Amino acid sequence: MKYHNTVLNQLLKFLPRHRFQNVVDRHKGDHRTRLLNCWDQLVALLFCQLSGRQSLRDLVDSFNSKSVHHYHWGTRVIRRSSLADANQNRPVAVFQEAFFYLLNQVRTALPKQEAQDMVRLIDSTTLDLNLNRFEWARFRSTRAGIKLHTVYDPHAEVPVFFEMTEAKVNDRKALSSLPMMPGVTYVVDRAYNDYGWYYALTEQGSRFVGRMKSNALYEVVETRTAQGDGVLSDEIIRLSSAKAKKACPVPLRRITFLRAEDQKRLVFISNDLEFSAEEIAALYKQRWQIELFFKWIKQNLKIKQFLGRNKNAMHIQVLVAMITYLMIKLVQLGGYSRLSLQQIYRLISVNLTSRRTLIQLLNPDTERRKGHRLSSPQLDFGFSFV
């Protein structure tokens, strides 16, 4: 019988061990480490994300029960106390660089885009926490939580940057730490309405599309003919309040749009004076893709229950969740299957230690049509649950 690596081992090949170790050495992640190095930590946390473990004890017991596979994963039996300490103290930068390495792999697998064709969606999602366990994350009298401020690429369908803050941090304050590229179009919700930021984007040659606040003061410079389905008005304006005029002293676009699904009126603000009103409305509509991304990771990855209580441990866990997402995306882009991310994730999660190629796992009907000899159910059962 032909030998195959386990499914988890094939996923780990997307992040070569030597590249990861170079990052670890640069950040001294394994300094004074004896029992559990950064690679052990990463593999254990990936196992947690993909197998749906519910707690630190559950993770350690389940991971150690697969010790027959540890050699091929480049890891070993782990201790609960060692993993807890590693999550609490290891440099977050190690896992950030691993995330960006995989992100570059995703971009390489897609057709290259020019900056003027790039769209970035910016939004945040709140993860609720137990106030008794996470007192430092209190943001209301009876609630605690953290926010993930995310920059999302709708073309690649992946996050390109995110920052974790306490839930009480205003979305606009997080803008200063988000990377901005000249020539790119940024689509934001009303929570990110910041005239100074709008002006900075305009000065660097970027476009933005956002929602205008209902109490904004402005004067109409030009009224254009409303053209396109759902477009009620199309105006060139200048902000008229003293503070807004100083923060953003350039002409802007104000478009009123009637959304067909629920007959809700939306008022867009943009610095794009060339695109049609319908095209600008279509750009804003893409923002729902980031909402779907948030929904997906909350439903499938372990980011609502945390293995540690301090910020460092939570940040590392969120980063490994994003690394898991990128690995699944690379499987989808690699031509292994035409299945959705959801279907790929489910098949991988229940076959982590199965010794089948990803193509065999994700295309069982194709393998049968090719006339490949199928192993007996007893053997498949044995390999899957060793």
190 secondary structure, DSSP code:
G
Provide the pLDDT for residue 82. Answer: 95
The rounded mean pLDDT for the chain is 90
93 pLDDT higher than 80: yes
223 pLDDT higher than 60: yes
329-347: average pLDDT: 90
| Degrees to nearest 5, angle at CA 373 with 10 and 371 | 100
Question: How long, in residues, is the chain?
Answer: 386
Residues 146-173 have pLDDT tens digits of 999 999 999 999 999 989 999 999 888 8
* Letter string b/e over residues 8-18, b meaning 16 or more CB atoms within 10 A of that residue's CB: bbbbbebbeee
42-71: average pLDDT: 95
pLDDT band at 378 (very low <50, low <70, confident <90, very high): very low
315-319: average pLDDT: 96
Count Cα neighbours of 267 within 13 Å in the Cβ-side half-sphere: 11
132 secondary structure, DSSP code:
T
List the structure tokens of 374. 């199928």
Contact 127, 148 (CB under 8 A): yes
* Letter string b/e over residues 96-114, b meaning 16 or more CB atoms within 10 A of that residue's CB: bbbbebbbebbbeeeeeee
Provide the pLDDT for residue 134. Answer: 92
261-284: average pLDDT: 94
95-116: average pLDDT: 89
SS3 282: helix
Query: What is the Cα–Cα distance from 95 to 101, expressed in whole angstroms?
Result: 10
Provide the pLDDT for residue 370. Answer: 54
243-255: average pLDDT: 95
pLDDT band at 121 (very low <50, low <70, confident <90, very high): very high
**CA nearest to 256, candidates 238, 236, 230:** 230
What percent of the chain is modeled with pLDDT above 70? 94
382 pLDDT higher than 70: no
Residues 169-212 have pLDDT tens digits of 988 888 888 888 999 999 999 889 999 999 999 999 999 999 99
SS3 183: coil
pLDDT band at 59 (very low <50, low <70, confident <90, very high): very high
pTM of full prediction above 0.85: yes
368 pLDDT higher than 70: no
Provide the pLDDT for residue 384. Answer: 36
376 secondary structure, DSSP code:
P
pLDDT band at 373 (very low <50, low <70, confident <90, very high): very low
Residue 112 or residue 68, greater confidence: 68
Provide the pLDDT for residue 101. Answer: 96
